[in-house]
Structure 1
Amino acid sequence: MTAPPPPKPRTRVVLGELARQRSVTQHLTEQTQVGDALLKGLMRAQLALALRLAVVVLIGLGGLPLLFHFAPPIGHTTLWGVNLPWLLLGVAAYPFLFLVGYAYVRLAEQNERDFTALMKRDR
């Protein structure tokens, strides 16, 4: 009678190792659950950025009427013959919105560069 063959050593399989067997690009092109999670993460980061900057705009522009209401002397101040509320809401609002838009574009591009770097790093 022959002796049974020795048992094979056990291998431990971890989900992260399975996910790394494919590249990120493959996960995205094949629309796997991992690729879907990566895309949702990018979209969530972009949405969070948009919401944060929307709050900045709401506080920056929406807070001005409250400031004028609760501090009437500021609302009645004039500069160069024009009421301060008109200057802030009618003139200064546009550079403010431009700067917020510029910041959004730069930060959104940074999110996309980080995502692209993740894809390139995995190759």
Structure 2
Amino acid sequence: MSRHSGPPGQPDQPQPGERDAWLAVSARKNRRRRVVLADPRGRGRVLRTIIELEEQTSVGEKLIRDLIKQQLKTAFLLGGGTLLLLASLPVLFYLLPAIAEVELLGVRLPWVLLGLLPFPLLYAVGYAYRRLAESHEHDFVSSVDR
């Protein structure tokens, strides 16, 4: 231990030779490093929005309500349009009996359209709805994360 060179109650001071050695070692090391734990820009707003969603405040409820409204509008347009199309086929065949008499590969057109058309049509509508719903949810998450 070095000699005590300061007043009583103070820590020991290094001797001049020890101080020079210590300075030489510390000069070789990086003296200061900046550690960034989080990006300070904009994270407070995102956190606040997430908290509003979790705590179901009026702002969070509005955001969720808008997402649900978009999803329902998409479902109504796609589902309603598909239902309208499929429901109009029997009416079309009733009103225009000449179309009902057309045969395709030995099978009447109403049987082909009503028996085969709904399956690929409903699959395509389901696929389109899923894509649109994911797009709406992605937009929602993007608006929350901004």
TM normalised by structure 2 equals 0.66
Tell me whether 1:68 sits opposite 2:93 in the alignment.
Answer: yes
Post-superposition, which runs of at least 4 consecutive aligned residues in structure 1 deviate over 3 A? none
Structure 1: give runs of 5+ residues left out of the alignment. Answer: 1-19
Partner Cα distance (1:42, 1:116) in 2: 10
- Partner-residue secondary structure (3-state), 2:67: helix
Partner Cα distance (2:129, 2:47) in 1: 33
Which letter does structure 2 place at the counterpart of 1:86?
Answer: W
Aligned length: 102
| Percentage of identical aligned residues | 44
Tell me whether 1:58 sits opposite 2:83 in the alignment.
Answer: yes
CA shift, 1:23, in A, is: 2.8
> Which residue in 1 is equivalent to 2:125?
100
Equivalent in 58, 61, 64 of residue 39 of structure 1: 64
- Partner-residue secondary structure (3-state), 1:23: helix
- Report 1 or 2 for greater relative contact order, CA contacts < 8 Å, sequence distance ≥ 6: 1
Equivalent in 97, 118, 122 of residue 143 of structure 2: 118
Larger radius of gyration: 2
Structure 2: give runs of 5+ residues left out of the alignment. Answer: 1-44
Q: Using the TM superposition, name which of 25-34 and 97-106 deviates more.
A: 25-34
CA shift, 1:22, in A, is: 6.9
TM normalised by structure 1 equals 0.78
Instruction: Note the aligned Cα RMSD (angstroms).
Output: 1.5
